[in-house]
Structure 1
Amino acid sequence: MALKHQGSYFLEHPKLKARVELLQRNLRNYTGQDLDPLSYKELHYLEQKIDTALKSIRSRKNQLIHESLAEMQKKERELRNQNNILAEQVKKKLKALTEQEQWEQQNLGQNSSFFMLPQAQPPLQPSILSHPPPTIGGSFQIRGFLNGNKDVEVQTQPITTMPPWMLRIVNERI
């Protein structure tokens, strides 16, 4: 039985060797080498095979380009949607900030009479006039970014003047 298999191997070996040589020669021909021994018909046949292969290659390349383009367009739509959502969030937060600022200003306007000192006549001594009355806070600005987008800026006004004994209590708590 082993002799039977060895006999088939001996018959297949020359066939496989010839097939390998043919494939190597075709490969050299496709790369433009060893074209001298080919006849006109063989060169024409080789040219047609190369043209067919190029058409197939170009077709696959175009297919990949179209698929890539479609994927990029899909990503672009997704990014635009995300951008629109973020822009809406920024608008809502800016609106909330302005509403909160307006509310705080209204509340400060209502409560400011509680903290206001009565306006008295200035004393005649110049040393007392050189010191302004104490105030809480003063005007300041808050700057920052909201979700990485537009620069947000909020300005506040001075809150009110307070008597020194109240100012001391506020400073101790801070």
Structure 2
Amino acid sequence: MTKTLEKYRRCSYGIPNATHQPQSFDDYLNLKATVEFMQQSQRNLLGEDLGPLNAKELEQLEHQLETSLERIRSTKTQSLLEQLTELQRKEQMLVEDNRGLKKKLEESSAQVAVAAAGAWGWEDGAGGHNMEYPSRGVASQSDAFFHPIVQPTPTLQIGYSSIGSMGMNHIGSPSQNANNNAFHLGWMI
């Protein structure tokens, strides 16, 4: 039992043991060598301190760089594909939300139109009514506007005109009216 207690005290309170210390020092040396190797590898990967390397080590370094680059590219591609999939899912959700909102808007617009029609007394819904406007002879004037003119209307003559210099007393003659019509028809075309 005393041996067990002594062993417990040594392990618990850190009483130095002669065999334990060399093992810790060996671990320290191994870790130090590993850190130095990793630092040297990192410098080599960054393109520094390449002078002391032989051709085989340079080929291994090149292969390691290519492998790392492929892994980085595949990881980046995978990340972009996941983002694309997520964005497509969100787009689909937004399209569905827009459809639902459009349907609700159409329904509410129809309800508002029916309510407005009921409030105003319209029969056909929003804007449809049977109100007639009185005619003041505008229809006959507009109808005449779109039909071809049979008799030419007198035009205002500004400046010197050979037709006007013949005299105003000959206007009523049939030969003069025929020339006058030809002049106006040519001018209108």
Shorter-normalised TM range: 0.5 to 0.7
Partner letter of residue 52 of structure 1?
T
The Cα of 1:13 is off from its aligned counterpart by 2.5
Overall identity of the aligned pairs, in % = 34
Aligned residue in 1 for 2:54 = 39
Partner letter of residue 17 of structure 2?
A
* In structure 2, distance between residues paired with 1:21 and 1:50: 20
* In structure 2, distance between residues paired with 1:66 and 1:72: 10
Aligned residue in 1 for 2:88 = 73
The Cα of 1:72 is off from its aligned counterpart by 0.1
Cα deviations across residues 137-156 of structure 1 (Å, max 9, x unaligned)? xxxxxxxxxxxxxxxxx88x
TM-score (norm 2): 0.55
The Cα of 1:5 is off from its aligned counterpart by 1.2
1:54 aligns with one of 69, 79, 82? 69
Residue 22 of structure 2 corresponds to residue 15 of structure 1: no
Q: Higher Cα Rg: structure 1 or 2?
A: 2
Partner letter of residue 48 of structure 1?
H
The Cα of 1:12 is off from its aligned counterpart by 2.4
Q: RMSD of aligned C-alpha atoms? A: 2.1
* In structure 1, distance between residues paired with 2:78 and 2:62: 24
TM-score (norm 1): 0.59
The Cα of 1:102 is off from its aligned counterpart by 1.2
Q: Which has the higher contact order (CA 8 A, sep 6+)?
A: 1
Q: How many residues align?
A: 111
Higher share in strand: 1
Aligned residue in 2 for 1:85 = 100
* In structure 2, distance between residues paired with 1:11 and 1:43: 31
Which stretches in structure 1 are left out of the alignment for 5+ residues?
110-153, 156-174
The Cα of 1:71 is off from its aligned counterpart by 0.2
